[in-house]
Structure formats: C-alpha cells, structure tokens
Amino acid sequence: MSLILDHVSYSYDVGTSYKQEALKDINIVIPDGQFVGLIGHTGSGKSTLIQLLNGLLKPTSGNIYYNGQDINDSDYDRKTLRSKVGLVFQYPEHQLFEENVFKDVCFGPKNLGLDEKEVNLRAYDALEKVKLSHDYFYQSPFDLSGGQKRRVAIAGILAMKPEVFILDEPTAGLDPKGSEEILTLIKNLQKDTGMTVILVSHNMEDVASYVDRILVMNKGELKMDGSPKDVFKKTEELSNMGLRAPEVTYIVRELRKKGFPVDDSAITVSEAKETILNALYHKILNE
Amino acid sequence: MSKIVEIKKLLFDYIRRDEEGNVEGITTAVDNVSLTISQGDFVAILGHNGSGKSTLAKHLNAILYPTEGTVLVDGKDTSEEDNIWEVRQAASMVFQNPDNQIIGQIVEEDVGFGPENLGVPTPMIWERVEKALKAVNMYQFRSKSPNRLSGGQKQRVSIAGVLAMQPKCIVLDEPTAMLDPSGREEVIEAIRELNKKENITIILITHNMEETIYADKIYVMDEGKIAMEGTPREIFSEVEKLKSLRLNVPQATMLAYELKKAGVPLPDGILTKEELICHLS
C-alpha cells in the first residue's frame, strides 16, 4: 500500500510551440503514513507534481501507482482516487461557498454518493478534528477569521476520509500562532489516523520541525530526497536552487567553523539550544 | 523631518447589513489609534489575523475612510474627496498577490500604466519606467511577459509600478506571503534600497518576523489597538508578550532567548545570527 511514481514526466502544451517540460523523469516511492515535505522555488514543478498525484493531470510519460493500481488506467475509478487522495489547494478558503459551515463541509462526502446520515457524521467528525467550536457550525463561513476559514476548508477535504492528504502551503497568510496551530493539527491527524501527508511549503523552519522526509524539486527534477537533517546539511546546493536551511542551522555551522564544539546538524531551535548548551558546559569544564 | 502620515484617534467600524439594509452587527476594526510617521522612515506593522492592520493600511490610501478621527497623508485629509488623487499619489499600495496587480502584456507597459493615468507626458513616462525598473533591479526584464516571471520578480514589477507614480510613501500589505525564500529576499532587499537611496517612506505589513528587523520602528496591533511600539530590538526583547499576541520572533532571537533562559549570559533582543554568534564566541 503506497504511492509510487515511476519515471513520470509531464509537459504543458504538448504539440504546440509553447511546449514546456514541467517534470522530468520523477521516481518516488511514498510508503503509508509518512509525513513528506515538498520544497522548491516557484515554478520548480511542485504544483504539477501534486496535481498528478490526485489525477487532475495525466503524465505525458511514466506511471503513477496507488495501492498497486495505475491511476491512469482507463478502468481506474478517478472519483474514488480523489476521495482517497485529498488535495487542499493554496488559499482553500476562497473555495468556501455554502450558506453555513456545516453544509460546506458536507459538500465533499455528499458528492461521493453517501447517504445523508453518513454525510452528516463525517462532516461533524471532520469539524471536530480541526477543532472548530460548535458555535460556528451554522454560521456563514464568510463571517469567520482567516484561520477559522482555513480550518473549515481543511475539514471539507478530511470529511472525504482521505488516505493521502496533500496540502499546498496551508499556512500562507496566517499569523505565526495560526500557522503553528494548523501544522500541529495536521501532524496529530497523521499520527492518530496513520494517513500519509504531503506538505508543500516555502517555510523551511516549518518543514524542519514537522516532516519525516523532504523532497526538493528544481527545474522539474527531483534534486534531493532525504531526511530533514540530510537535506538541510547541503546549504550550498539549496542556495543554488533559491532555497535555504533554517536560520539556526547557519548559526550552529558558523559556530562550529569558529572552533565551537557544537553538533552542526541541528535544524530546530531546541536542537540548537541543546548542542550549544552542551558545548558551553564542556568549555567551562575544560577551563 | 516632515510628517508623511498623521493618524489622530482613528476609529473604523465595519457595519454588516442584512438584505433589507438593516444593521446586523458592528465590528470595530481600528479602535482609537494615533500615530505619526516621518518622511523616510521604515515602519513595520505586525499583528495577528484580524488585528486590524490591513484596515489601518487601507486608510493611508483612501480605500477606507475613518468612522471617527482623522488621517492626514502628506498633510492632506483623506476623508475629503478633493484630496483623494493627491493622497493616492503620495501613498501607494502593494498587495499580497502579484497576479492581481499586474495588467500589462509586457513588463514596461505594466509599469507605465500608473504614470500614464496621471497624465504624465509620454517621454517622461519612459524615463520614469526605466528608473523604476532599475530601482528594483528588473530593467533587464522590461520587454518580457509578466506571465513568465517568478513570484518575487512579479512582486518587484508591482513595486516598480507604484514607484513610477513617484510616491513619497509605499504601503505594502504582506507582499511576500506568497513567495519562496529567494523571492522574499529579493523583495525585502528592493524595499530597503528604495528606503535608503530614494528616501521613500516604507510601511510594511507582514507576518514574517525576520523581515522587520531592519525597520526603524515596529507597531504591533491587537484588537484594533496599538499593543506595542518600539525599535525591533525593544519589540523582540518581549518574547512572551509577542507570543501572547499570536506572534513570534526571528529564529536567532528565539534561540538567544532560550539560551538566556537556560543561564547563558546574553543581552535581550538579539536580532540576527551574526549578533548571536558574536556574543557566543
């Protein structure tokens, strides 16, 4: 049970003079339950990749397998795919439209053809999961704050019970606390339900603290695939691709260069704190 | 130094009405705010979603008018209709999404749109376009289609577009929220250059704490009021207070704060990695 991309390429406007190769020979295996971060500068192919995963685009060549089945086979059920691989677009709150929050969340499961009772149960459950207070259930989604609207939009996808949950910059435009709340929520959902999460983000600090694995895209190619520590070690390569490591990584590396005995693989504030305190402690002992 | 923005006891209510036009509810988005910004200042406004910062910003460009109080931009009262064009020329706005702000088929045409509308003679439009594009380091892209640019490049074209109107003040409402790290850097660098070299007043609204460390002054808004004001060093010394306002501090500041709590002798309000490294080694 997994998501496999086998030699996948994709070009826009094939057969015209505007043809543009957006993805070149991508090979990825994502096992169940992994929290994957997808990074890359604007135009690196991230959005094309996630649209391929949920069947919105079809590869120009290569195959995508979900649970052992080629999702682009003529007899494959696309509707089921879209309920199993849920995609939350950027600024998903722009897609809210119903007269109240609860109805909006019902829209997805209703379209799956489920009976009313099941639809209501799922909507209720999804809104509970995103921790939206009951007071808001029958309010217009347009009267909510930015962070609340985003929760409703995320609940709308959760109500389809996806096994793979893809989010395109879910924290863009949210204040720091709001971002943290959304990411913690997603992390907990991944841990509790065992679903796979693919997070597209421009925020390296977020990626460093939440994901198990990072995929780095550049000019349509998969350039790196590894643990956050492995990827953020390669600061120079990242910088050539218009990306960077978290700020603390540069701090520990610089300290190390100055002869400070710190572990320079730290990528979060707490890791950096730990290793700097250790180094200071040893320095005092030696003096 | 002359005052470019003077806000006196500004109060703004959003009024929600039902289908018949009866008032359903009133939300006070800006609540009795007074502040003064001098020409050439770089000011950052922080605040959580819904704290009133965007509503405040929209008053500087006469998109919104005060319910109570006054807003003077370059000495002109924004609530007087006759002043509206002068106000908008003095203070221009750049928004979050570059795709909503670019209209031209090619870059230089887009940048020329503003001055053309102001009735600037054609030869001078070209002069302004050239100068504006050079100021944001986008001159080499002048004959490209905006569609083919990256987010950071598009946002710099948007800035050139307002620059060509020769404003005294540019208000930027989360200009980097949709950009990747290098796009962010490009835009912030362009803004700082304009502030230093052209002495243009910058008012930057953002959720990204790192972007504000070069500001002369930071205002933090909460529930429509100014909750904190001071230099970046003063503001970022108050980690706990910022957190209670749903904000954060730059990562270098956070690390320094955590180390200090653990007993390492460090000063408050360290802003950059260079400072922290310097203090530790």
Q: Which residues of B are less than 8 Å from A174 in CB distance? A: 49, 207
What per-residue confidence (pLDDT) applies to A271? Answer: 96
Q: How far apart are CA A56 and CA A155, in angstroms?
A: 21
Taking a C-beta distance cutoff of 8 angstroms, is the pair B203, B73 a contact? Answer: no
What per-residue confidence (pLDDT) applies to A80? Answer: 83
Q: Read off the amino acid at residue A15.
A: G
At B269, list the tokens: 């309000």
Q: How far is A172 from chain B (nearest CA, A)?
A: 6
At A132, list the tokens: 């939206």
Which chain B residue lies closest to A177 (C-alpha atoms)? Answer: B246
φ, ψ for residue B57, nearest 5 deg: -60, -40
Which chain A residue lies closest to B96 (C-alpha atoms)? Answer: A173
How crowded is the C-beta side of A2, counted as CA atoms within 13 Å?
9
| pLDDT above 70 for B229 | yes
Question: Which one, of B161, B170, B57, B179, lies nearest residue B114 by Cα?
Answer: B161
Beta strands A196-200 and A35-39, pairing class: parallel
- B195-216 burial by CB neighbour count: b if 16+ within 10 A, else e? beeeebbbbbbbbbbbbbbbbe
Tens digit of pLDDT for each residue in A62-119?
999 999 999 999 889 888 888 899 999 888 888 888 899 999 999 999 998 899 999 9
Q: How far apart are CA B82 and CA B133, in angstroms?
A: 31
Portion of chain A with pLDDT greater than 70, in percent: 100
Q: Is B177 near chain A, with CB under 8 Å?
A: yes
| pLDDT above 90 for B261 | yes
What per-residue confidence (pLDDT) applies to B222? Answer: 96
What per-residue confidence (pLDDT) applies to B71? Answer: 96
Q: What is the mean pLDDT of residues A121-139?
A: 92
Q: How far apart are CA A34 and CA A210, in angstroms?
A: 11
Q: What is the mean pLDDT of residues A242-264?
A: 93
Name the residue ranges covered by the structural domains of chain B: 40-62+80-232
Q: What is the mean pLDDT of residues A177-184?
A: 92
The answer to whether the Cα torsion of B85, B26, B221, A150 is positive or negative is negative
Q: How far is A223 from chain B (nearest CA, A)?
A: 17
Q: What is the mean pLDDT of residues A162-187?
A: 92
What per-residue confidence (pLDDT) applies to A1? Answer: 61
Residue in B51, B183, B259 closest to A276 by CB: B259
Q: Which residues of A are less than 8 Å from B250 in CB distance? A: 247
Q: Which residues of B are less than 8 Å from A20 in CB distance? A: none
Question: Which one, of B85, B166, B170, lies nearest residue B125 by Cα?
Answer: B166
Q: Which residues of A are less than 8 Å from B210 in CB distance? A: 247
Interface contact B182-A242, CB threshold 8 A: yes
In the predicted model, what is the mean pLDDT of chain A? 92
Portion of chain B with pLDDT greater than 70, in percent: 100
| pLDDT above 90 for B275 | yes
Tens digit of pLDDT for each residue in B63-95?
999 999 999 999 999 999 999 989 998 999 998
Rg (CA), chain B: 20
Which B-chain residues 78-107 have CB contacts (< 8 A) with chain A? 96
Q: Which residues of A are less than 8 Å from B235 in CB distance? A: none
State the pLDDT confidence band at A131, using cuts at 50, 70 and 90.
confident
Interface contact A41-B150, CB threshold 8 A: yes
Query: What is the signed CA dihedral for A251, A254, A260, A262, rounded to 10 degrees?
Result: 50
Give me the DSSP letters along chain B.
--EEEEEEEEEEEEEEE-TTS-EEEEEEEEEEEEEEEETT-EEEEEE-TTSSHHHHHHHHTTSS--SEEEEEETTEETTSGGGHHHHHHHEEEE-S-GGGT---SSHHHHHHHHHHHTT--HHHHHHHHHHHHHHTT-GGGTTS-GGGS-HHHHHHHHHHHHHTT--SEEEEESTTTT--HHHHHHHHHHHHHHHHHH--EEEEE-S-GGGGTT-SEEEEEETTEEEEEE-HHHHHT-HHHHHHTT----HHHHHHHHHHHTT----S---SHHHHHHHH-
Taking a C-beta distance cutoff of 8 angstroms, is the pair A63, A263 a contact? Answer: no
Q: Identify the CATH number of the domain defined by range B40-62+80-232.
A: 3.40.50.300
Q: Greater confidence, A282 or B216?
A: B216
Q: How far apart are CA B181 and CA A243, in angstroms?
A: 6
Which chain B residue lies closest to A44 (C-alpha atoms)? Answer: B150
Question: Which one, of B198, B154, B202, B162, lies nearest residue B180 by Cα?
Answer: B154
| pLDDT above 90 for A235 | yes
Q: How far is B255 from chain A (nearest CA, A)?
A: 6
| pLDDT above 90 for A19 | no
Q: How far is A186 from chain B (nearest CA, A)?
A: 19
Q: Is B64 near chain A, with CB under 8 Å?
A: no
Q: How far is B245 from chain A (nearest CA, A)?
A: 9
At B243, list the tokens: 């957190």
Instruction: Return the DSSP state at A143.
Output: G
A44, A202, A257: best to mutate for the B interface, most B CBs within 10 A: A202
Residues of A with CB under 8 A from a CB of B: 40-43, 90, 145-147, 169, 172-179, 202, 204-205, 242-244, 246-248, 250-251, 254-255, 258-260, 269-270, 272-273, 276-277, 280
What per-residue confidence (pLDDT) applies to A285? Answer: 83
Tens digit of pLDDT for each residue in B96-129?
888 888 888 899 999 999 899 888 999 999 999 9
Residue in A172, A175, A277 closest to B48 by CB: A175
Interface contact B150-A147, CB threshold 8 A: no
Which chain A residue lies closest to B185 (C-alpha atoms)? Answer: A242
Q: Work out the angle at residue B207's Cα, subtended by the Cα atoms of residues B202 and B212, and round it to the nearest 5 degrees.
A: 45
Q: Is B243 near chain A, with CB under 8 Å?
A: yes
Tens digit of pLDDT for each residue in A267-279?
999 999 999 999 9
| pLDDT above 70 for A9 | yes
Interface contact B251-A248, CB threshold 8 A: yes
Residue in B48, B96, B259 closest to A277 by CB: B259
Q: What is the mean pLDDT of residues B171-192?
A: 90
Residue in B151, B251, B258 closest to A205 by CB: B251
Q: Is B265 near chain A, with CB under 8 Å?
A: no
State the pLDDT confidence band at B1, using cuts at 50, 70 and 90.
low
Q: What is the mean pLDDT of residues A124-137?
A: 91
Tens digit of pLDDT for each residue in B37-60?
999 999 999 999 889 999 999 999
What per-residue confidence (pLDDT) applies to B103? Answer: 83
Q: Is B183 near chain A, with CB under 8 Å?
A: yes
Portion of chain A with pLDDT greater than 90, in percent: 72
Q: Is B280 near chain A, with CB under 8 Å?
A: yes
Q: Name the E strands within A32-84.
A: 35-39, 61-66, 69-70
Q: What is the mean pLDDT of residues B11-28?
A: 86
